[in-house]
Amino acid sequence: MIAKISIGKSLYGALAYNQKKVDQEKGKVLFTNKIIEKADGNFNIHECIECFNNYIPEGIRTKNNVIHISLNPHPDDKLTDEQLSKIAQEYMNKLGYGEQPFMVFKHEDINRHHVHIVSIRTNETGKKINDKFEHIRSQKITRELEQKYGLHPAAEKKQESERPELHRVNYKTGDIKHQIANTVKALCHEYKFQSFTEYRALLSLYNICVEEIKGESNGKPYNGLIYSATNSKGKKKGNPIKSSSIGQSVGYNAIKKRIVKSTSLIAKENLKGHLRDVISEILNNTRTRKQFEKELKKRGIDVLFRQNKTGRIYGVTFIDHENRTVLNGSRLGKELSANAFEEHFNNSISGDNRTSCPGLSPLGVDLGNGSFNSHPTRGQESFGNDIYSVDMRKRKRKKRKL
């Protein structure tokens, strides 16, 4: 069993995340501690927050006062609600939160049912619950619970992802805004990308197009993003949706910050080297593009080729779903650049429309109203005026001789 601990500021955010699972009938409340329960068994987020607030004195200094824990049993451990409740209660007791107000939710949106626990990190007097070596103590507790309840050890088999599988937006089913919002928020939070091109390529897998818009408000220039649903061929359907109507987490500034953070994470975890090795191995053992794409998929990797009208490949982007990383081929070396693939496959283009990045013209210029650009001959990508593509190299201006 694996326990994941997250610390944050927003009690509403943690409760809303879990309540949404309940509302979608993909989860339920197993039990609560020191939280008033209605006679009908239903819970209201605002009323729950009031219960939590009764245990939070004014003037506390702990900024991140919310703890959100998920307990993830091995997929082969089929536990009843009663067993999950006992495990959750014992875990909280051992971690030092047994006397705290908390709510325990069961999530059923993936095959491996698991629980989420929301609580606060200060007691009624304002003193913070002991969090020294919290993660180490948590691991020890889960090992003890595994032995007591006869559960599979966490190291015995790699756990399945807790995140439910995302589906492509289907404009025909309606509620496009809701579909786009859920998908974009998840992708932006989970995946790492270093340019707007890579972010755009990622969204295209899920029938979503993103464009940058520029304007002026009260004499001040501004930048924003709009999202649209597309069909399987990349043609936009329905009305575009402003990022502001979805949330700040998927807006222009948030994407800029994500690009910067992603660059650091990719370098720190050496994700380029890992992906390069996998792709090179597959490329050396395949002759056709269809074979190449098929073998990549087996390894959890999608590839998007950008082509001009004559079918020439001028851009390529890889999406590694296992490590949640998006990388243009040019970042992985010349041997995996667009020109290398053009030469390797000799213009042998498959008929799969999903391998073309939707919304791009043969020259890489956005067909919509956005300012997105791609420069295939230089292997560069841009977000607005190229200032947010992290690995862009500044050009030195040559001084003219007089």
Q: 163-185: per-residue pLDDT in tens?
A: 445 788 999 888 889 999 989 99
**pLDDT the model gives residue 42:** 83
pLDDT for 81 equals 94
pLDDT digits (tens, 9 = 90+) for 348-369: 444 443 333 433 333 333 333 3
326 - beta bridge partners?
319
pLDDT of res. 357 = 40
> Mean pLDDT across the stretch 196-200?
94
Using CA atoms, how far apart are residues 106 and 25, in angstroms rounded to an integer?
A: 11
The per-residue pLDDT for 148 is: 93
**Structure-model confidence comparison of residues 193 and 273, the more confident one:** 193
Average the pLDDT over 290-295 and give the result: 91
Helices of type H across 151-288: 176-190, 196-204, 252-268, 271-284
Q: Cα separations (Å) of 165 from 73, 320, 321, 343? A: 19, 14, 11, 35
Which band of pLDDT confidence, cut at 50, 70 and 90, is reported for residue 324?
very high
Asked if residue 242 has pLDDT above 50, the reply is yes
3-state secondary structure (DSSP) of residue 256 = helix
> Is it the case that residue 284 has pLDDT exceeding 90?
no
Q: In this predicted structure, what is the pLDDT of residue 68? A: 93
- Rounded to two decimals, the pTM is 0.50
Instruction: Say what the pLDDT of residue 59 is.
Output: 80
Write down the pLDDT at residue 70: 92
Average pLDDT, stretch 221-226?
88
Q: Please, how many CA atoms are within 13 Å of residue 115, restricted to the half-sphere of its CB?
A: 27
Per DSSP, what are the bridge partners of residue 31? Answer: 104
| DSSP H or E stretch at residue 60 | none
Percent above pLDDT 90 for the chain: 47
DSSP structure class, residue 248: G
Can you tell me the distance from the alpha carbon of 172 to that of 237, in angstroms, rounded to the nearest whole number?
9
**Helix boundaries (H) for 191-314:** 196-204, 252-268, 271-284, 289-298
Identify the weakest region by mean pLDDT among 219-233, 314-328, 377-391: 377-391
How confident is the model over 54-74, as a mean pLDDT? Answer: 88
Predicted confidence at residue 348, as pLDDT, reads 47
Classify 327 in phi/psi space as left (phi over 0), alpha (psi -120 to 50) or beta: beta
Mean pLDDT for the stretch of residues 230-253: 91
Q: Residue 111: what pLDDT?
A: 67
Q: Quick check: helix, strand or coil at residue 67?
A: strand
Mean pLDDT score, 154-170: 59
